[in-house]
Amino acid sequence: MFFDDNLLIYTATGKALYEKVKELPIIDYHCHLDQRKIAENSTFTDIGELWLAGDHYKWRAMRMCGVDEYYITGGASFKEKFLKYAEIVPNLIGNPLYYWTHLELKQIFGIDTPLNAESAENIYNAANEKLKSVTVQDMLNAFKVEFIGTTDDPVDDLAYHKTYGSINVTPTFRPDKLFLFEDSYIARLGNAAGIEINGLDDLLMALSLRLDYFVTKGCRMADHGMDRFPDSYADYAAAKELFEIRDSLTEEEQESLKGFILVWLSKEYAKRNITVQLHFAVTRNVNPKMYELCGVDSGFDVVSEIPTVQNLVGFLSRIDDDERPNTVLYTLNDSSLASIACVTGAFRNVRMGAAWWFNDTVEGIRRNLKIIAEYSSLGNNLGMLTDSRSFSSYCRFDFFRRILCDYVGNLVEKGEYDEASAIQLVENICYYNAKRMVD
């Protein structure tokens, strides 16, 4: 049967484990949702807006299947965009989008018909009828979302970060723009902190003040995205000099200054009990013409081939175990996943994260789970996150829970793991580990 209750679960034990976790609340500790829409309890004009207003996963798929940009980021109506997306869905067999699309149709709209060109009009109308009575908070409550960690720049005002009913919306400290060391951004950071930044000490004070402000708004997470970690790290004296000449830094000098600040920030996170997420091995905006046309986060990022393990070790080794924050590692290039997982045994407070971005597939998640289990510790894994801009993306938690329960259930059925431990394991991974981290 198409997308039945046992989707992706192939053993009796796996199905029993899934029953234990399928209704657990959701801790989404890393996403890109618009907190203002949560605060305003926005509605959706139609399923086209819900799905295609900002989902670069779908945009990439449509480009790969030859859809004109007019129906992707162009001026077409959301209905036209939805119908074009529906046409290409049958081509996506095995792609996570195929699973997510139909899980969303079933779990949000009660629709269990395969989406394609023939069914698109009826599905569009039925979904829109349902959306007439659904708000953003309705959708979050339906998925039992307890915690949302949005992604926020240090200069953001965080006006909409608060608790809405049972939904705790908190900021995540994401200072990526800082590392361009542009005067205009430095000035904005100073304004946000209420100080004038004339030197490195002022910069560090501004960052410290903004971190404190984030904490008052419930911040429990920080996040850094990069292609790789620096090769060199300035000491304090050298960093002061480099910051003074930031307009004329060589690439090596800029990297060295970045290294100093990364280490300094990590220690500041630890002081505030903030968990830092490190996303690496990504090369962004590789299509210059389309980047100019569509901007960032539009589907033009790729897996990086740059070696990262030695760079990662070089970074972690600069922070003593008792000064290191809880640290979660995500690599976009999972060819080095085993090597990176080994690093978690060499440094305290470091763990592997979920299968990130392009690896968020059926086999990518299975591979992630298996390698973490074999080279690190699966039991302290934090489970799933959406990493999404879409309010309908919480079906991804169900997708992950099914794959996790199938993986663990298979080990139980083979006599390699006891069922009582399996129940506790999947419950911790699906909810309690993340819950303890953000409480």
CA distance 262 to 317: 13
* Amino acid at position 280, single letter: F
Percent of the chain with pLDDT over 70: 100
**Which pLDDT belongs to residue 116?**
98
- Is the pLDDT confidence value at 68 over 90? yes
Distance CA 403, CA 18 (A): 9
Q: What are phi and psi of 167, to 5 degrees?
A: -105, 115
| pLDDT tens digits, one per residue of 388-425 | 999 999 999 999 999 999 999 999 999 999 999 999 99
Confidence of residue 305 (pLDDT cuts 50, 70, 90): confident
**Residue 134 carries which side chain, given as an amino acid letter?**
V
pLDDT at residue 1, as a whole number: 84
If one counts every other C-beta atom within 10 angstroms of the C-beta of residue 72, the result is: 22
CB 369 within 8 A of CB 403: yes
- For residues 202 and 251, give the distance between their C-alpha atoms in angstroms, rounded to a whole number: 23
Q: For residue 376, report the phi and psi dihedrals to the nearest 5 degrees.
A: -135, -135
Measure the CA dihedral 338/341/343/344, to 10°.
Answer: -160
Tens of pLDDT, residues 294-304:
999 999 999 99
Query: In this predicted model, what pLDDT tens digit does every residue of 96-131 receive, in sequence order?
Result: 999 999 999 999 999 999 999 999 999 999 999 999
The domains of the chain, with CATH numbers, are 12-44+145-438 (3.20.20.140), 45-134 (1.10.2020.10)
| Backbone angles phi and psi of 327, in degrees to 5 | -130, 130
Reported as a pLDDT band with limits 50, 70 and 90, residue 308 is: confident
Question: Distance between CA 14 and CA 417 in Å, rounded?
Answer: 12
What tokens were used for 74? 């162009």
pLDDT digits (tens, 9 = 90+) for 6-18: 999 999 999 999 9
* Strand partners of residue 148: 28, 169
Helix (H) or strand (E) holding 99: helix 96-109
Task: Copy the structure tokens of residue 249.
Answer: 């830094």
When the pLDDT of each residue in the chain is averaged and rounded to a whole number, the result is 97
Residue 307: its pLDDT value, please? 67
Round to whole Å and give the CA distance between 102 and 170: 29
